[in-house]
Structure formats: structure tokens, C-alpha cells
Amino acid sequence: MSLAEEHFKRFFSDPEQVSYTPGEAQDILSGRPVRDEAKELIYAKMLRLGSILVADSLKIDRDSCQLVIRSLPDDESSASAVGFADGSFLIRVSHALLDAITSVSDMMMMFEHGVDSAQNAFTRHGRERQMQQTAMDLSAAMRAWIIMQRVTGTAQGLAFNLARADTIAAGEIALEALQLVLAHEIAHIALKHTQVAAESMISAGHIRQSESRELQADNLAVRMVTGQRPNLAADAGPMWGVFLALLAMELTESAIYIRRNSTHPLAWARWAVVEQMLGGGQSRAKPYQLAILASAVAALKLDEVFPASGWATVQRAQIIAARSMDLALLDQLLAAPIDQLVERAYATSSTRGREILTLMRQGSIAAALSALGAKERLVQAIADDRWAVKFFTIKNLIDSACTTDALNADASLYSVVGTRMVARVLTEENGGMRRHDG
């Protein structure tokens, strides 16, 4: 048994071998909730398929015990590779990133149908209007995904109303994207970016990597998944996988964390470098990729309330299991000017609730978290800027305190506002948000 295997078995566990139905597999690929054990196993099989494709492209043993690839339900926003003294490696891919990859693949099917409708319009004006609506629909879908991750800690509950054929196609796209994720981590190994003992990962939290190393890994990973084809067009299947993998990682990072602890370039910058590597020329996909990136930029403006007209996407039932009214309300709490919301929270809080808000406003985050019932270990981890901090971790802590102590009559308002106040202090103390490694 390699040290990587030993480490995984010591701290984690393989998914339970359970049976699942074809319907559950389709539900996962379309974003619908399924049993946790079925989700674990299906994600493990996705990783296995992805790892086989990458192993074959590298001409390495599919079953080598020196390379352990597993999915984990928590703590990671994307993926990471850890090296061990015997030369073995553990690659960890989070459920959050796998959720993002499947959701983004579903969004691309929705986008493709919108593009088809635009191309079939009779007039130029009609085509332009349909493309604008398609871009708005895509942006709303991305924003809804971010909201669900921040507020509930998962994207389940946001599902896409796709036909079976579209779901299968989305699964194929997701597998292409997953290949890039795994190839990227294997590239870190090949480039000797992961020569760090497992103990340092455990004690210091996460491995820091420079932007230049990330771009080097992207370069090698792209060559792996494209089979060393230097002139592969940007609209080829493997390149769409690269594009969507980078987009999924960006959405995951922005949705989940209020502080990250490494320095990744933004997805759009990484894609620009990939395009340049491919020759930087035009392709049939270029206008659509630009439209997708513009939609993502709009969705990620988390300091601005999303346009109300965008939630019409939900009402048209292109996205199901998420009501537009709920999404609009949550978006207001997450993106409206914080000072106005703080005053609302003060007005409806109990005396103890106001005391905790005052501590947050004064920047006394440790004291506020302790007052909320946080364990000392969590308080120390949040104070340590080497550790990434999840939005939902803070929100869930405040939600629990609201349930126990009735801090505010409007628990949703109080927990989101409190989390945003903590986030503001943490990002100001650390010079802005930093990116989690992956």
C-alpha cells in the first residue's frame, strides 16, 4: 500500500458500494437531489472514468497505487494534489467542483438551445435580441447556482429541466471538463509542484502555489487532454472541456469562499493564455465563448443586486426546483449595500443579537464568533489567514445560534448580514480575497 493510499484510508473512506438507478444517475447530471450515498458512488465513477482517460493519454498504468484520486464532500473548493515521501500522490476533487462541472454542463445545453433559437430567427434584430436573452438566462442560472451554494452549502435544489438526450450530452461535456481538472493536478505532479509532505497539508491547511505554476500546469494539462495536438481549434470538443472546467472552477471559488489562501489567476486570464497557446486565432466558438464569459462576469458581480428581469428564467421553468421569488430575496440579502441591511438587522434583533452585531461592526470577529458558540479551534482557524474560510461555514454558525438564542426575528436576514460583516473584516485585514489552491 502506498503512503497516498494509507493517508486516504486513515483520514477518509471510499464511498459505500450501493445500487443506484439510471434515473438517479440522470438526476445527478441534471442537478436534482439524490441520496448522499448514490451521489458519492456516481461521483467516484466519474472520477474513475476521467482518470482512465488521463492515464491513457499519458500512457501510464490505470491502476497504479502510486496515484490515488478521490472525491471529498467538504473542505475543498476545487482540487489539489499532495505528494508523499514514497513518490505516491493523492489528488482530491471536491463535491462542490463536481457539482459545478455538472451544473455548468447543463447550463451549456440550455445556452445551446438559446443559440439555436437565435440562429433560426428571421431578422438580424430578432437574432440579436434572442442572443441577449440567452446570455441573460445563462447569467441568471450561474447567479442562482452561486446563491444556492452560499446560502445552503450545496447546489442541490437547483435543477435543470433537460430532455434525456440533453442530459447525456451534458454528461459527456462534464467528463471532458473533468479530464482537464485531473490533468491539471497531474501536471503539478509532473512539474514537481507538489513536493510537500502530507503533514504540512494537515498542519497548515492548504498548499500555496504561485500564479506562474498554475499557468504552467494549465499549459501541460491542455497538451495532455488534446493529445499533444498543437493546432487544435478552440471549438473542438476537448477545448470546450478545458473552457468549461476553468469556468466551473471560477464559479466554485467565487460561490463558496470569503477568504482563500493561494494565488490563482482568474479563469478568463487562464483561458486567454490557453487560447494564445493554441495560436490565438478566431474560431466558430469564439463569439459564444465571449458571450459565456460575459454572462459569468455579470453573475459574479456579488456587490451588485442581480437585475430582477433576469429571474424570469426561473419563471419560464428552464430552471426548476428554485423559485424566482426566493432567489430574488436571497440575492438582495447577499448583494444589496451592507450598511442598509445592518440597520435592518439591528432593528429586528434581540439585545444579545445587537451585541454580537456590534462586535462584528467593531472588527472583533473572534469575540463575535465565540459569542455565537463557535469552538475555539474554529475561531483560531478563521483568525489564521493561511486557512480558507467558507461563506456557508459562518452562515451556518449564525443560523444555529439564531435557532438556539432567537437573536433576530428574521433569521435569514441576520445570518446573511452577519456573514457579510465577518467577510468584510476578513478581506480588509488580508488585503482582499485570496484564492484557494486547486
DSSP 128-177: HHHHHHHHHHHHHHHHHHHHHHHHHSS-TT-EE---HHHHHHHHHHHHHH
Bigger pLDDT: 360 or 278? 360
pLDDT the model gives residue 370: 93
- Of the candidate ranges 91-100, 401-410, 424-433, the one whose mean pLDDT is the lowest: 424-433
**Secondary structure percentages of the chain, helix, strand, coil, to 5:** 65, 5, 30
pLDDT the model gives residue 191: 82
pLDDT of 319-363, one tens digit each?
555 566 688 889 999 999 998 899 999 998 999 999 999 999 999
Helix (H, G, I), strand (E, B) or coil at 235: coil
pLDDT the model gives residue 16: 67
- Of the candidate ranges 19-33, 189-203, 306-320, 327-341, the one whose mean pLDDT is the lowest: 189-203
Mean pLDDT score of the chain: 79
pLDDT of 286-309, one tens digit each?
788 889 999 999 999 998 999 988
Task: Encode 177-210: b = buried (16+ Cβ within 10 Å), e = exposed.
Answer: bbbbbbbbbbbbbbeebbebebeebeeebbbebe
The residue count for the chain? 438
Domains of the chain by residue range: 95-106+133-196+203-314, 337-429
Mapped to the 3 state alphabet, what secondary structure does 38-74 carry?
HHHHHHHHHHHHHHHHHHHHHCCCCCCCCEEEEEECC
Q: Are 318 and 273 in contact (CB under 8 A)?
A: no
pLDDT the model gives residue 437: 37
d(CA 94, CA 286): 30
pLDDT of 120-135, one tens digit each?
888 989 989 889 888 9
pLDDT of 153-196, one tens digit each?
876 656 777 788 888 888 888 888 988 888 888 888 888 775 44
- Of the candidate ranges 199-203, 314-318, 416-420, the one whose mean pLDDT is the lowest: 199-203
Task: Encode 153-173: b = buried (16+ Cβ within 10 Å), e = exposed.
Answer: bebbbbbbbbeeebbebbbeb
pLDDT of 70-108, one tens digit each?
887 655 557 888 888 887 888 888 888 888 898 898 889
If phi > 0 it is left, if psi is from -120 to 50 it is alpha, else beta; for residue 279 that is left
